């Protein structure tokens, strides 16, 4: 079941190895402020973990090349959703009309 995301926050990690194999993280929250997912970003050559769900929180792993695209979706699209299926995290918008100019 997809969860509607209402807010987010960003953390960027410095240093050659980042933090816990990640370069940056975007935390996603539902309408009650509950953490629903962590979108974790990795540079080329960094350890790339599999997506997983634990304790109702999705951990989705993406290349840092997708960071700006994900941030653009969070800033400009509404509603957005997160769900976990077939061993993968899915971050999605709802169906929207063509030419909406969002």
- Would the pTM count as exceeding 0.95? no
- Mean pLDDT computed over 72-97: 93
Q: Where are the domains of the chain?
A: 3-93
Across all residues in the chain, what is the average pLDDT? Answer: 93
Two tokens at 38?
Answer: 């962590």
What's the pLDDT score for residue 102? 56
- Mean pLDDT computed over 67-89: 96
Q: What is the pLDDT of residues 31-59, one digit of tens each?
A: 999 999 999 999 988 888 999 999 999 99
- Whole-angstrom CA distances from 38 to 26, 54, 102 are 6, 11, 25
């Amino acid at each position: 079941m997809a969860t509607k995301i209402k807010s987010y926050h960003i953390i960027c990690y410095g240093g050659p190895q980042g933090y816990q194999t990640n370069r940056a993280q975007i935390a996603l929250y539902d309408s009650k402020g509950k953490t629903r997912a962590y979108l974790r970003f990795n540079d080329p050559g960094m350890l790339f973990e599999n997506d997983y769900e634990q304790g109702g929180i999705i951990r989705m792993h993406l290349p840092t090349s997708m960071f700006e695209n994900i941030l653009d979706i969070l800033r400009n699209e509404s509603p957005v959703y997160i769900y976990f299926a077939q061993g993968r995290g899915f971050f999605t918008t709802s169906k929207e009309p063509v030419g909406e100019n969002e």
